[in-house]
Structure 1
Amino acid sequence: MRRALRILLSILAAITAVGIYFTNRLMFMKKKEDEFILKREREAGRIIDEEYESLNKRDVSIPSPFGYDIKGVLAEPHDTDYYIIISHGVTENKFNSIKYMNLFLERGFNALIFDHRRHGESGGKTTSYGHYEKFDLKAVVDWLKNEKGKEIKLGIHGESMGAATMLLYAGMLEDGADFYIADCPFSDFREQLAYRIKEEVHLPAGILVPLAELFLRFRDKYSLREVSPITVIDNIKNPVLFIHSSKDDFILPSMTEALYEKKNGPKMLFMAENGVHAQSFNENRKQYEQVIDEFLLSIGIVPARKTVALVNKTSTARQ
C-alpha cells in the first residue's frame, strides 16, 4: 500500500513538474530585449532616428483593467480624425510597430503604438496570447475615443499575436474599429500550440495541450479554448484585410485562409510571396503597401493622397 502511494505521489509530482515547466514557458515566454529590437529596426532602415524624433508625438499611459499601465506613443502629425492603432506580436514591442505606423502616417492617418502587457514599458506579469491582451486593446481603443471623440475613423493593424488579439477584441461583440488588418494571426491557440509542440519538442501534443490547459486555468485563470479567433470571427461585421506569407512555417498560412473563409461581410486576403513569419511587410513592401491602398480605397477610407491612379493597379489580393 505504501509503495503504491509512493508511486502515485511520484507520478503526481512528475505531472506537476511538467505542467509548471510547460506553462512557465507559455506565461513567461522569453522576450527580445528592447535594445535588440531597436537596433534591428534601425539597421534595417525601418527606424530613422531623425524622422522619429522630429515627429509630433507624445508618450501616453493608459490604465489596464488589470491594474497596470499600458505604455504607448500617440503620433499626430496630421490635422485629421483618421487614426490607426498598431498591435505588435509576442516577444516584440512598440519599436517593431514603427514601420507600420510610418506606412499609415504616409497615408494621412495619425497613429497610436503601444506595448502589450509584459512587453516593453507596459506592466503585467504574464503573456496570455490574446486573452487578457484583448481587454487591454479595448482599454486603448476606449482611451483614444475618449481623447479624440467617438466619431473618429479608426483602424487597427495587428501582427501575429497582435493580430489574434485584435480579432478576439473585435469578435467579443465590440467591433470597435472601422476596419482591421490581421497580419499572420493564428486561428486557434490550442491548434497552434499543438503544432508548435510537434515541430519543436516532438512530444505528444495530445497529452501536453490538455495538461497546459489544466495548469493555465489554475495559474493564469483562463482557458486555451478562449483564445480562438475563429470562434468569434462571425461577430466581426466591419472590413478585415487578412495578410500572411505563403512560406510562413511558424503560424501556417492555412490559419489565415480559414479565418478569411469564415469571415462574413467585407474582406480581402493577401498571401505574400516572400518571407517567413511576420516578414510579409519586410520582404514584400511594395506589394504590401499596394494591398493596403487597395483595401482602404475599396472600403472608402482614404484620408489623404493616393486616391488617384490606384484604380488602375493590378490587385494581388482576393475579395
Structure 2
Amino acid sequence: MKHKKLFVTLGATLALFLAIVTAGSFYLVDYALVSAERERNSNLAQIEKRFPELKSWVDSLQAVGALRDTFVVMPTTGKRAHALFVRSPRAKGRTAVLVHGYCDNATRMLPIARIYNRELGANVLLPDLYAHGQSDGDAIQMGWKDRLDVLHWISLAPELFRTEADSMRLVVHGISMGAATTMCVSGEQTPQYVKCFVEDCGYTSVWDEFSNEISARFSLPDFPLMYTASWLVQVKYGWNFNEASPLKQVAKCQKPMLFIHGDNDTFVPTWMVYPLYEAKPQPKAHWIAHGSKHADAYGDYKEEYTHRVLEFVKKYM
C-alpha cells in the first residue's frame, strides 16, 4: 500500500511538473515571438527627435518623392513583405541593404540609411522583416528564416535600382536582430555583387540570447524550459534555437565583415562579439564602442560610427 501511494504521488508530481514546463514553454514562445510589442507603425517624428540630423535629409527626399515603398510576395512564406527604398542618382551601383532589429521596423534604420545615401551616394533598401512593420507574418523569426527573405531582397536589388548586376556593389548592414540576420545571410551563397557586411551588436545564437534573457528576466536555468521551447518552435514554425546560429554562419563567410558592439551591452552581452569575430575568416575588422549600451553605438558616437563604417565599406564598394 505504501509503494502504491508513493507511485501515485510521484506520478502526480511528474504530471504537475510536465504541465508547468509545457505551460512555461508556450508562454516563453508567445512572449518572445508572438505577443512582443512591435513598432508596426512608423513614428518618424520620434526618430527625428532623437536624431535631429535626420529631418533635413528625409524632408529633401520626400520633397522629390525619392523615399518610396514597395511590396513583394516572399517565395519563402507566400506572405506580403514591405520595404522602403531610395534610388540615388549618385550611386554608381553602390547599394546598402539595411536590416532592423527585434520589434523595430524599416523606418528605425533611416539614421543608418542617411550615412550611406548622404555620405556615399548609395541606393538604400530597408526591408521590414517578417511580422514587423508593414510586412505580414504572425511570429518573429529571430533572423534565422529572415535570412532567406533578405537574400530575396538582395536578388531584387538590381531590378529595383535599375542597375546591371555586373556594376552593382552591395553591403548588408544590420543592427541587433538585424545584425544576426546579416550574419546568417553571410554564411549563405550570395551574389557576386554582395561585397561586404556590417553587423552591429548581433548575438551568437538564438539559444544564447534567449538563455541570457530567461536568466536575466526570470532567473531560470536553461533546463528544461529552453529545450522544450525550442522543440515547440520547431513544431510550430519549422526552426529551432540551436540551428539559428550566426556564429556557425559567420564561420562560412568569406566576404569582409565589420563587427560593432557596445562594451556596456547587457541585452546582447558584449562577450558575444568576441567568438563571432574569432569565428569569421579574414578579411574582418571590429570596433568596440566604449560605454555604449545595446544598439546605442551610433547614437553615442555619430561621427566615429559614420567614419568607421565608411572607411570599411569604401574598401570594397
| TM exceeding 0.5 | yes
Offset from partner CA, 1:145-170 (integer Å, 9 cap, x none): 34433221111110010011111112
SS of corresponding position for 1:173: coil
Residue 304 of structure 2 is aligned to residue 281 of structure 1: no
- For residue 53 of structure 1, what is the amino acid of its counterpart? Q
Q: Which residue does the alignment assign to 2:59?
A: 50
Q: Which residue does the alignment assign to 1:238?
A: 255
TM superposition score normalised by structure 1:
0.87
Residue of structure 2 aligned with 1:169, choices 166, 177, 185: 185
Residue of structure 2 aligned with 1:95, choices 85, 107, 111: 107
Q: CA deviation at 1:226?
A: 1.2
Residue of structure 2 aligned with 1:124, choices 137, 140, 146: 137
Q: Where do residues 31-180 of structure 1 align in structure 2 (5 Å cutoff)?
A: 31-35=37-41, 37-44=43-50, 45=52, 47-48=54-55, 49-54=58-63, 56-64=66-74, 65-79=76-90, 80-106=92-118, 107-147=120-160, 148-151=163-166, 152-174=168-190, 177-180=194-197
Q: Does the CA-based 8 Å contact 2:40-2:134 persist in structure 1?
A: no
Offset from partner CA, 1:247-284 (integer Å, 9 cap, x none): 11111122112211221121110111242100100111
Q: CA deviation at 1:3?
A: 4.7
Q: CA deviation at 1:174?
A: 3.1
Are the structure 2 counterparts of residues 200 and 6 from structure 1 closer, same or farther at C-alpha, using a change threshold of 3 Å?
Answer: closer
Q: Where does structure 1 differ by over 6 angstroms across 4 or more consecutive aligned residues? A: none
Offset from partner CA, 1:42-76 (integer Å, 9 cap, x none): 21225415234125232111221201111012201
Gapped regions of structure 1 (runs ≥ 5): 302-319
Residue of structure 1 aligned with 2:309, choices 292, 295, 310: 292
Q: Which residue does the alignment assign to 2:25?
A: 19
Alpha-carbon RMSD across the aligned residues, in angstroms, is 2.1
Offset from partner CA, 1:69-91 (integer Å, 9 cap, x none): 11012201324211100000011
Are the structure 2 counterparts of residues 154 and 67 from structure 1 closer, same or farther at C-alpha, using a change threshold of 3 Å?
Answer: same
Q: CA deviation at 1:292?
A: 1.4
Quote the Cα distance in structure 1 between the aligned partners of 2:284 and 2:170.
Answer: 16
TM superposition score normalised by structure 2:
0.88
SS of corresponding position for 1:20: helix
Residue of structure 2 aligned with 1:247, choices 242, 251, 264: 264
Quote the Cα distance in structure 2 between the aligned partners of 1:6 and 1:262.
Answer: 47
SS of corresponding position for 1:26: helix
Q: Does the CA-based 8 Å contact 1:31-1:90 persist in structure 2?
A: no
Between 1:23-32 and 1:259-268, the stretch displaced more is: 23-32
Q: Where do residues 1-20 of structure 1 align in structure 2 (5 Å cutoff)?
A: 3=8, 8-20=14-26
Between 1:154-163 and 1:221-230, the stretch displaced more is: 221-230
Offset from partner CA, 1:5-26 (integer Å, 9 cap, x none): 6555444332221111111112
SS of corresponding position for 1:190: helix
Quote the Cα distance in structure 2 between the aligned partners of 1:130 and 1:33.
Answer: 17
Are the structure 2 counterparts of residues 168 and 12 from structure 1 closer, same or farther at C-alpha, using a change threshold of 3 Å?
Answer: same
Quote the Cα distance in structure 2 between the aligned partners of 1:250 and 1:39.
Answer: 26
SS of corresponding position for 2:224: helix
Offset from partner CA, 1:111-138 (integer Å, 9 cap, x none): 0111111111001111120121111111
